[in-house]
Amino acid sequence: MILKLAEKATIKVIKEVAGFIRDEARDFNKKKVEHKGFNDLVSYVDKQAEKLLVEGLTEVMPDAGFITEEGTSSKEGEEYNWIIDPLDGTTNFVHGIPTYSVSVALQKNDEIILGIVYEINHDECFHAVAGGPAYVNEQKIEVSQDVNLSASLIATGFPYNNFDKVDGYLAILKNIMQKSHGLRRIGSAAVDLAYVACGRFEGFFEYNLNAWDVAAGAFIVQQAGGTVSTFNNEKNYIFGREILAAAPKVHAELLEAISKNWKSE
């Protein structure tokens, strides 16, 4: 009951922040974009949205710490930590492509117990708590059932600043595009994962990601009946910088396709 109340309060905070992002998108000026690194964009919208999230979530759970993308808070919680991405899909936002999201997860010790991904432009709130099902808004969702790779649509992301493994990755893409309904690259890992959870995609994989990109979405996939791992089927996908999330049958086939051309660090 307490966790459900925290979920409700967190969704309220997220939707308020999403309203700010939505308003700023109308008149956003590309000249205000900064570069954290090569092709790694950030704007005042990311920073202000994160500040608003930290303030709002501190009211929801005062003792919790934060793992944040923009470094707004360095507070570490003894038991609870929020893992937040204030604007997942910044490059889409900057270019006016309407697919980006707010991603918030709550971690208790080493376990995620709450995950929320709010896709702003479609007003879709994907959410789940430990021990319960996954939802989009108030409709229960689950991953695709009894589907093999040959009947699947798969999501991925392309490397934008770490090209050391790009040849192997391209080989994986070639393999999968020949064995599935196709590949899609939306530009927000959190949305990709949410779409796996509700069966729009049958699987998603990407490398060079951070905890705030995947923590909430991966948890929602699991609560929707999906399987999540690294590329070599280990469980450190939140901090391991590579993730494979899929319907159970498709997960096994994707693991096989990836393992032929990939060597995890």
Neighbours of 148 (CB within 10 A): 15
Q: How far is CA 184 from CA 50, 176, 204, 254, in A?
A: 28, 11, 9, 15
Instruction: Please check whether residue 60 is in contact with residue 7, taking contact to mean a CB–CB distance below 8 angstroms.
Output: no
The token duo for 96 is 């006016």
Contacts of residue 70, defined as CB under 8 A and 6 or more positions apart, other chains included, come to 42, 46, 47, 50, 86
213 marked among binding-site residues = yes
Give the C-alpha separation, 116 to 1, whole Å: 17
Give the C-alpha separation, 49 to 68, whole Å: 11
The token duo for 204 is 């998603």
69 marked among binding-site residues = yes
85 marked among binding-site residues = yes
Binding residues for Mg(2+): 69, 85, 87-88, 213
Binding residues: 69, 85, 87-88, 213
